[in-house]
Amino acid sequence: MPVADYVIRHAAEHPARPAVRGPRGELSYGELADALNGAARHLLGRGAGPGSLVAVGVADPVALLIAVLAADLAGATPLVGDPSWDRTRWVRMGGAVDALVDAPLPYVKGPVVDRAPAPGDRAWACFSSGSTGRPRAVVRTRASWTASFPHLSDLAGIGPGDVVLVPGPLFSSLYAFAAVHALAAGATAVVPGRWPAGALAGHLAQATVVHLVPHLLPAVLQRPGALRTAVVGGAALGPQARAAAEQAGVRVVSYYGATELSFVAVDADGAGLRPFPGVEIEVRTSPGAVLGEVWARSPWLAEGYLGRAAGPLHRDEDGWMTVGDVAHPYRGGEVLRLRGRGDGAIQTGGATVVPEDVEEVLRKVPGVGDIVVIGSPHPSLGSVVTAILEADGAPPPRALLEAVARSGLDVAQRPRLWYAVPSLPRTQAGKPARALVAAWLAGGGPDIQRLA
């Protein structure tokens, strides 16, 4: 069922219930359903419909949601991207775009839009770049997008009485999914459009659920307000974060996935990642290898990249997919122990170092906000492990960092070079942009401090 149809059903039953709250105000479900129909009639009048690709790059998050759901209602495929892109870049990023929506859609009067959607319709497309490379447009069927909604609702306990804070840009697939899932569940979606630093406490005073990336969780836990549950995706979540959430009275549901794979594994109780409902997992290892590549097979997998763009997604003849993430060997019933993206591994002096292993240890050092570990070129070793830490204020002394590295890391894993920056660059999903950090370092980027 289209997400727009969920909204229309909620509107019929509870028209006055708040549906979405953004920087410019609030819409009830009745008002949102009416706005969707009016915007869908406008798109149909422009020739958009089944089989067409509607690019949506609107700055206001509520207007963006209306455009996306209107395209969905009209039978088109919405492609969500950065509102700062011009038409040339949209075409380059998304291929054959039939219509571009870069401003709030006008309301057109007329009859209710009614059509017969199919589970196999191409119902959603968004961009995925991870932390490297040109963004690629990932497209998925309606069923792969919406049929996972009930499972997340059950795992996180999200329902019509909830207020779900979505504190990031909706052109990130993580935040876009969070917003439309909240609407499908009949909850109130709060979409400030970006991290609401100054207004965070006010939002948390009303929000019962927040859906975010790990590095934002500590700020939320300082003043949790009415918060009951934090849904955390996008990167690894350490035990310290869970302990802090428990102390604050907030339940954490964390998950591992990818834009191309959707949900793969979930940790709903702190016992470790296990397959998300409907997902099969394999970790395929080479002879003698310590780590293997994570493959998944499920109803939630994407169709692939628009325009057959190149990317990390690979599919085998039996319907399994991978994006190159690596993990320890896995057997059904066990916990999935992830170790990051395989193409980020550092080869140093004949040893293979997984950056996430090093980062996990060094994040425990007081004064380290976040950290990125990369390989720096070396004439004889190939690469040396290099740590770039985020420190708001004076960074920890190098002696302390090295002491922690010695106590928790093997010799090959210990950084040889140490740097500090006030703030790490991040991807749209909020993860540190590893490739951009490496480029900063190579080019002597802004505010990089060498730790002597």
**Residue spans per domain, the chain:** 3-253, 345-450
The answer to whether residue 140 scores a pLDDT higher than 80 is: yes
Confidence category of residue 435, pLDDT binned at 50, 70, 90 = confident
Is the pLDDT reported for residue 93 higher than 70?
A: no
- Average pLDDT of the residues in 299-307: 90
Predicted confidence band of residue 132 (pLDDT cuts 50, 70, 90): very low
- Looking at every residue in the chain, the average pLDDT score rounds to 89
User: In this structure, what token pair is assigned to residue 419?
Assistant: 């740097």
Give the pLDDT score at 429: 67
> What is the second-level CATH architecture of the domain 3-253?
3-Layer(aba) Sandwich (3.40)
Please check the confidence at residue 294 and state whether its pLDDT lies above 90: yes
Amino acid at 319: G
pLDDT of residue 235: 65
**Is it the case that residue 112 has pLDDT exceeding 60?**
yes
The pLDDT, as a whole number, for residue 409 is 87
pLDDT band at 167 (very low <50, low <70, confident <90, very high): very high
> Does pLDDT of 240 surpass 70?
yes
The percentage of the chain sitting over the pLDDT mark of 70, rounded to a whole number, equals 94
Instruction: Indicate the pLDDT class of residue 182, thresholds 50, 70 and 90.
Output: very high
For range 358-376, the mean pLDDT: 89
Which position has the higher pLDDT, 411 or 7?
Answer: 7
pTM exceeds 0.85 for this model: no
| CATH number, domain 345-450 | 3.30.300.30
* Residue 445 vs residue 175, higher pLDDT: 175
| Residue 272 scores a pLDDT above 90 | yes
More confident call, 437 vs 183: 183
Q: What is the band of 239 on the pLDDT scale with cuts at 50, 70, 90?
A: confident
Say if residue 376's pLDDT is above 70.
yes
Is 363's pLDDT higher than 70? yes
- What's residue 285's pLDDT? 85
Q: What is the mean pLDDT of residues 197-201?
A: 92
Q: pLDDT at position 23, please? A: 95
The yes-or-no verdict on residue 308 having pLDDT over 80 is: no
pLDDT at 238 over 80: no
Q: How confident is the model at residue 98 (pLDDT cuts 50, 70, 90)?
A: confident
Q: What's the pLDDT score for residue 1?
A: 65
What integer pLDDT is reported at residue 343 of this predicted model? Answer: 62
Residue 131: band (very low, low, confident or very high) from pLDDT cuts 50, 70, 90: very low
